[in-house]
Amino acid sequence: MKTNSELIGVGVRRLVRPVFYAETANRHYFSKRAACRAEAAARIREKYPSEECETDDQGRTTCEGWHWTRIKRADVLLRRYSRIIFKSVPNAEQTRRAGD
């Protein structure tokens, strides 16, 4: 007996594939590079928390706030920190072989 999806001809099926989990970012990613970049950004956010902008009663800005991307050469910091994390994480094939 065929299932409903087989009768309808739905081209969606369930696949089990390895994903990477960025603990600090608390998300799953399909690529190792994306997970490492999100983890690096989340760790930088923890070390340098953002400050919201402050306004007075008339709506004028008294303090414009702050975000970690305003650090001088923040792009280099993110790229280097991502690379350090990337090199420390095993590939999907290595983890799959270890589990066998």
Which pLDDT value is given to residue 35?
92
Question: Residue 25: which pLDDT band, with cuts at 50, 70 and 90?
Answer: confident
Model confidence band, residue 98 (pLDDT cutoffs 50, 70, 90): low
Q: Give kind and range of the element (H or E) at residue 27.
A: strand 27-29
Among the listed residues 24, 45, 53, the one whose alpha carbon sits nearest the alpha carbon of residue 36: 24
* pLDDT given for residue 5 in this prediction: 61
Higher pLDDT pick, 61 / 79: 79
The pLDDT of residue 60 is above 90: no
The Cα-based distances of 33 to 10, 36, 85, 95 in angstroms read 32, 5, 9, 16
Q: Does pLDDT of 94 surpass 80?
A: no
Q: Is residue 1 helix, strand or coil? A: coil
Domain boundaries, the chain: 19-49+65-89
